[in-house]
A and B are shown apart, each in its own frame.
Chain A
Amino acid sequence: MNDGRVLVVDDTLFNRRLLVRLLTGIGHEVLEAGDGREALAILRAPDAPSVDVILLDILMPVMDGYETLEALKADEALRDVPVIVISGVDELESVVRCIQIGAADYLPKSVAPEILRARIEASLAQKRLHDLERATMAEQALLLGTIERQRSELSRFLSPQVAALVSSEDGETLLAGHRREITAMFCDLRNFTGFSEQAAPEEVLGFLRAYHAVMGELIVTYEGTLEHFAGDGFMTFFNDPALQDDHAVRAVRLAIAMRDRFVALADEWRRRGHVLEIGIGIATGYATLGRIGFEGRYDYGAVGNVIIHAARLSGEAGPGEILIAPGTFAAVEADIEANHAGDRQLKGYSRPIPVHAVVGMRSTEAV
């Protein structure tokens, strides 16, 4: 393929003519410059043709070969253009220096056409490879940009943990379904049905917006995975997809924070004549997690007794109560103060199960 564009940089007209002649003779297009500054002007011109190889003399007026080479290598747009240094037989030291700066090759001044042809071909091949690499890199950057955009858009619809999971390496395996111990938390409002009957729909929506905003922010802070919001109720779980050693404590801490924050929200609505109370249930146990749903609409969800257990406890909770299952209590006992709230007969369970009501954190550290 003799279709390269070569820039010859040499101050000696004799050498330049000879090289131009040789290069055009083997099918290349040739541009000429008398020194480094002229060469850079040609290469950096706004409508500059893309040069494939530069043949560079070392000793030149105005700007010599070293300076030119340094300028080329410092220029993002020109650094990949291969430079072949033209040298006299007694200039070996200079050649070494040029190669150290970044020259690709060197040629003696009175060069046989066959050698010139071969060296130019080799440099052209190198340049084409570089061009291809650049094009591939640009394509990859574009692709990565798209993925990043999708990921950030996705994280507005999904829990941040789930959004991260979708684009992670083991995402497919985890989405396909896996068993894991989690702590599940159900939260809903005691008298929401009455409230939504009395209040205007706009009021109900206004309240839900404020409620979701406050709770959503807390869930993100405590790194819970929100499975769903459904009106006044929602389910959050811990230890999946991101592993959390302290998942039970985290869930209880989140519940305490929610209860605290809910007080201000409820006060505001109480002044408007609506009494709203929060109730929370927490259970720890094994669940199957992954993609749940049908083609066209999947959610990342959890299935298992632990979910039902938490839901039942939430239903059982009185105003402002956080009820926790025995498994959760065992895991948080050291950090959290809780009172035994009796053995409760929960719907669907064959025998009464001991339940604890959370008072607060045991230590003085803030939640």
Chain B
Amino acid sequence: MDPAILDPEAFDHLLDITGGELEFVDELIDTYLEDGEAQLDAMRSAAAAGDIAAIVRPAHSLKSSSANVGAKALETLCRALEADAGTSALPDAAGRVAEAAAAFGLARDALIAERAARQGA
């Protein structure tokens, strides 16, 4: 696992704060994946409509949940997106959102692979 995509320490932290209940961690990760798709959709529509300010909130939301699951690269991209959208300094909004979507895809694959590895073990 590439720690830049998915930080194993964050996963341990998640396990820690849920009291070591793997089932709930899985549930949380499913929530993250669903939620993440929804935030990306919101960002895509905002970028398409040229409503840069409307990118701030979903970027913020995806940033914080990504931090919680340890999706570091995505967290970093979202943080920058949030900040830039907040100042309206976002010339290539659609491209930046696509970049985040790609990072989200990698994080999702890593999370699913992690679960498969755990369940296989």
Asked if B57 contacts A60 (CB within 8 A), the reply is: yes
Q: Of all chain B residues, which has the CB nearest A113?
A: B17
Q: List residues of chain A with CB within 8 A of the CB of B34.
A: 13
Asked if A90 contacts B61 (CB within 8 A), the reply is: no
Which of B34, B35, B64 has the largest number of chain A CB atoms within 10 A? B64
Asked if B31 contacts A17 (CB within 8 A), the reply is: yes
Given A13-B34, A13-B35, A14-B32, verify A25-B61 contact (CB < 8 Å): no
Q: Of all chain B residues, which has the CB nearest A86?
A: B64
Q: List residues of chain B with CB within 8 A of the CB of A12.
A: 35, 61, 64-65
Given A59-B56, A59-B60, A113-B17, verify A88-B67 contact (CB < 8 Å): yes
Given A17-B27, A112-B17, verify A88-B68 contact (CB < 8 Å): no
Interface check B19, CB cutoff 8 A? yes
Interface check B79, CB cutoff 8 A? yes
Q: List residues of chain A with CB within 8 A of the CB of B88.
A: none
Q: List residues of chain A with CB within 8 A of the CB of B18.
A: 18, 21-22
Asked if B17 contacts A59 (CB within 8 A), the reply is: no
How many Å lie between the Cα of A88 and that of B75 in the bound state? 12
Q: List residues of chain B with CB within 8 A of the CB of A59.
A: 56-57, 60-61
Report which of B16, B56, B68, B79 forms a contact with A15, defined as CB distance below 8 A. B68
Interface check A11, CB cutoff 8 A? yes
How many Å lie between the Cα of A90 and that of B27 in the bound state? 27
Contact residues, A43-81 vs B (CB, 8 A): 59-61
Given A13-B35, A113-B17, verify A21-B63 contact (CB < 8 Å): no
Asked if B31 contacts A13 (CB within 8 A), the reply is: yes
Asked if B63 contacts A14 (CB within 8 A), the reply is: no
How many Å lie between the Cα of A42 and that of B59 in the bound state? 27
Range for the number of chain A residues in contact with chain B: 20 to 34
Asked if A14 contacts B35 (CB within 8 A), the reply is: yes
Interface check A110, CB cutoff 8 A? yes
How many Å lie between the Cα of A198 and that of B85 in the bound state? 104
Q: List residues of chain A with CB within 8 A of the CB of B64.
A: 12, 15, 88, 109
Q: List residues of chain A with CB within 8 A of the CB of B28.
A: 14, 17-18, 21
Q: Of all chain B residues, which has the CB nearest A112?
A: B17
Asked if B61 contacts A11 (CB within 8 A), the reply is: yes
CB distance from A286 to the nearest CB of B (A): 83
How many Å lie between the Cα of A168 and that of B16 in the bound state? 64
How many Å lie between the Cα of A196 and that of B71 in the bound state? 106
Q: List residues of chain B with CB within 8 A of the CB of A111.
A: 17
Interface check B13, CB cutoff 8 A? yes
B49-76 vs A: 1/0 string, CB under 8 Å? 0000000110011011101110000000
How many Å lie between the Cα of A17 and that of B19 in the bound state? 14
How many Å lie between the Cα of A225 and that of B103 in the bound state? 91
Given A18-B28, A88-B63, verify A61-B35 contact (CB < 8 Å): no
How many Å lie between the Cα of A111 and that of B17 in the bound state? 8
Which of A22, A59, A60, A109 has the largest number of chain B CB atoms within 10 A? A59
A20-49 vs B: 1/0 string, CB under 8 Å? 011001000000000000000000000000
Q: List residues of chain B with CB within 8 A of the CB of A15.
A: 64-65, 68
How many Å lie between the Cα of A301 and that of B41 in the bound state? 88
CB distance from B84 to the nearest CB of A (A): 14
How many Å lie between the Cα of A22 and that of B28 in the bound state? 12
How many Å lie between the Cα of A25 and that of B18 in the bound state? 9
Residues on B facing A (Cβ under 8 Å)? 13, 16-19, 24, 27-28, 31-32, 34-35, 56-57, 60-61, 63-65, 67-69, 79
Residues on A facing B (Cβ under 8 Å)? 11-15, 17-18, 21-22, 25, 59-61, 88, 90, 109-113
CB<8 Å pairs between A and B, sample of 5: A12-B61, A18-B68, A21-B18, A21-B28, A60-B57
What are the nearest 3 A-B pairs in CB distance?
A14-B65, A12-B61, A59-B60
